[in-house]
Structure 1
Amino acid sequence: MGACAEVTDTNTSSSLESNTTGITAFSMPGWQLALWATAYLALVLVAVIGNATVIWIILAHQRMRTVTNYFIVNLALADLFMATFNVAFNFVYASHNIWYFGRAFCHFLNLFPIMSIFVSIYSMTAIAADRYMAIVHPFQPRLSGIGTKAVIAGIWLVALALAFPQCFYSAITVDRGATKCLVDWPEDSGGKKLLLYHLVLIVLIYLLPLVVMFVAYSVIGFTLWRRGVPGHQAHGANLRHLQAKKFVKTMVLVVVTFAICWLPYHLYFILGHFQKDIYYCKFIQQVYLAIFWLAMSSTMYNPIIYCCLNHRFRSGFRLAFRCCPWVTPIEEDKMELTHTPSISMRVNRCHTKEILFMVGDVAPSEAVNGQAGGPPDGVSIEL
């Protein structure tokens, strides 16, 4: 799942594949390279700044430290690492088809992207499972702070184990004078092991979690839209019911965006296994750069979605960028992230707890406390 290392041009002499000149059959005109570099640079900047801001908003404000938001931090961290350690290096490799970064980084670049993708999509799956329990089964025990950290650590460990084979078999080779970073599976002349590994990856880091999230959010949506809060009931319960619906819409948009961005990338590698001739076509470089940009762009959309659809994150972004002349924070922004509900509000939550259970919005622990072991911060159905 690494860079497009197999792209070569059989009609080009070995002199053009010289590693010393940096010129290959796939070297682009300067203007074309500049356009692609600008597109990738914009992607990296938006992804790094956006995800770093999301992490700051949650970790720097006690009210935002809920179970759901810890999984969002994990998702943002994976996207941040992907944008920082994978995008630029893979772009340089794909734009020249020469590996400049040494043996150690070759192993790393074949390890870390798979880890990041796994962590991203299973963080989304954990959020879906957490919301499923909170809304569909509000009386069941919920994850504690320690349990949440254990799940996050488990996600990273499984991701490491899944990515390790590709890292282990990474190798530096020289093809017609050009250095390449490849995955060299032993006794795999027909590429069957590599194909099987990629198919297993696609199932585990794409198809399976998407199916799980589709089922979970379908049940959640049916529960929320089927059960309404009677008009004469407490206003707070009705507000939280609406917030739960908005949260589901936000996370569904996050999941759908991820699925769309990564689908062409997975299809590209499956097609390449059955039609290896496509790697000898000059146009495949442009196709790969476009597909790879789309896949990597999944790292930058989530902060934009949070900012557009969630008022607390919108307040956090205004506070984070208040030094910019075009950003004007309002007084309510700081209160959104730091304000602790008054005693009267807590009593009101306890009074309306039975109504919240009726509509299936929150678990007992969330009606009063927004996080395990933390101060009251509102209902954690909201990001």
Structure 2
Amino acid sequence: MRGDSHPIMTGNSSIFKLDNATLSLFKDVNTSIIISVIYMFVTAINLVGNGLSMWLLLFRTSPKTPSIIFMINLTLTDLAIGTALPFQIAYQLQGYNWKMGKHMCSFMTLIFYTNMYCSILTMMAIGIDRYLGIVRPMLFRETRERKTIAVVSCLFMWAVVLSVLYPLMTTDLTFDIPELGITTCFDMLKKDMLPDKTAWAAFLFSMVFVLFLFPFCVTTFCYVSVILKLTRDSKTAQKHRAIRLAFIVLLVFTLCFAPNNILLLIHTVLRLFYQKSVYMAYKLSLCFSCLNSCLDPFIYYFACKDFRQKLRQIINLQTLSSADLMKLEHKESLYTAP
């Protein structure tokens, strides 16, 4: 994200001079190729892993518990980013030249950021669900209409994310750069995209603190509480599985989400107030944020016993007799949220 430091702007044609950092980014072919290759791997793994996950969650996993509903929501956002990444790959390989119009640019950008923040909120919801099922089981059992609450929660997440990202839906995010003969998509932003610096501050606060930092703190609390509970009461297998799940979730946050959100805040503050930039680092962190869509199926594996069993049957990792399967289900149900 770049704010133009020059005040003379008319629509999408601006009287401005590219700074050296921006110019070097758009001319850096190697970085563009590296980002494109990362996106290619992510797209392939995303579509295969999440396609299989969606099939298992929709047609082979029953009953549809709140955790399953949250996982379906998470898989949906992952598949959306998987279908959007090829457009970003084409944009990168064409030298940051967007050829599909301003509406498609806004739509693809919206998908990109909606995936990130809906994933964050959904992982928080899964963490809360496991916390209630394992640490507060009595409260968990007293909750009525849990499936309805899960569906409403998913709709609420989408509403919150789309309301925060509303400026991306209503702004022309393309930007013509005549001296390079390219039209960028969400790589150059006008300062007047929002009315003033207060509006920019509110926009950034909502993205970084409301949609990232708060869910991160809640998710960390839930999984640490689950691990402590299982450490006291659980047998070794259940404890190790809970620790692996917590590790993967926190890895997704720290590897995929934290660098991007922190650099977004730093870059925009530097750009708006000090005319400096860390955009190259932000651009690289943005591509790593998509890795969450490849790691999410591992979350399903450790969080849902039914998903785990169906996947084992499909890939023939282990064959269980009916008696063994009943024993395993009984054992896992002791410490697995329904």
Q: Same fold (TM over 0.5)?
A: yes
TM-fit CA distance, 1:332: 2.4
1:175 aligns with 2:174: no
1:73 is paired with a residue of what secondary structure?
Answer: helix
Letter in 2 for 1:130: D
Please name the residue that 1:207 is paired with: 213
Please name the residue that 1:47 is paired with: 46
1:220 aligns with 2:226: yes
Please name the residue that 2:88 is paired with: 90
Rounded Cα–Cα distance in structure 2 between residues aligned with 1:117 and 1:191: 24
Sort the Cα spacing of 1:200 and 1:131 in 2 relative to 1 into closer, same or farther, 3 A.
same
Larger Rg: 1
1:332 is paired with a residue of what secondary structure?
Answer: coil
Q: Contact between 1:122 and 1:209, CA under 8 Å: does it hold in 2?
A: yes
1:159 aligns with 2:161: yes
Letter in 2 for 1:26: F
Please name the residue that 2:255 is paired with: 260
Worse-matched range after superposition: 127-136 or 244-253: 244-253
Deviations 1:37-78 (A, max 9, x none): 333211111112111211212222144633212212211221
Structure 2, unaligned runs of 5 or more: 6-15
Q: Which has the higher helix share?
A: 2
1:72 is paired with a residue of what secondary structure?
Answer: helix
Rounded Cα–Cα distance in structure 2 between residues aligned with 1:4 and 1:92: 21
Worse-matched range after superposition: 100-109 or 120-129: 100-109
Q: Following superposition of structure 1 onto structure 2, how do residues 317-356 of structure 1 map, counting pairs within 5 Å?
A: 317=311, 329=316, 332=319, 341=326
Q: Following superposition of structure 1 onto structure 2, how do residues 1-383 of structure 1 map, counting pairs within 5 Å?
A: 10=18, 26-29=26-29, 34-63=33-62, 65-85=64-84, 87-94=85-92, 96-140=95-139, 141-142=142-143, 144-176=146-178, 177-182=181-186, 183-184=189-190, 186=192, 191-227=197-233, 242-243=237-238, 246-247=241-242, 249-276=244-271, 279=277, 285=280, 287-304=281-298, 306=300, 313=307, 316-317=310-311, 329=316, 332=319, 341=326, 380-381=336-337
TM-fit CA distance, 1:160: 2.0
TM-fit CA distance, 1:275: 3.2
Q: Contact between 2:244 and 2:302, CA under 8 Å: does it hold in 1?
A: no
TM-fit CA distance, 1:106: 2.1
Sort the Cα spacing of 1:5 and 1:68 in 2 relative to 1 into closer, same or farther, 3 A.
same
Structure 1, unaligned runs of 5 or more: 18-23, 229-237, 323-328, 350-355, 368-378
Q: Contact between 1:68 and 1:380, CA under 8 Å: does it hold in 2?
A: no
Sort the Cα spacing of 1:318 and 1:243 in 2 relative to 1 into closer, same or farther, 3 A.
closer
Rounded Cα–Cα distance in structure 2 between residues aligned with 1:174 and 1:152: 37
Letter in 2 for 1:196: A
Sort the Cα spacing of 1:103 and 1:227 in 2 relative to 1 into closer, same or farther, 3 A.
same
2:51 is paired with a residue of what secondary structure?
Answer: helix
Letter in 2 for 1:381: A
Rounded Cα–Cα distance in structure 2 between residues aligned with 1:112 and 1:59: 22
Q: Contact between 1:315 and 1:333, CA under 8 Å: does it hold in 2?
A: no
TM-fit CA distance, 1:274: 3.5
Sort the Cα spacing of 1:162 and 1:186 in 2 relative to 1 into closer, same or farther, 3 A.
same
Letter in 2 for 1:214: T
CA RMSD of aligned residues (A): 4.0
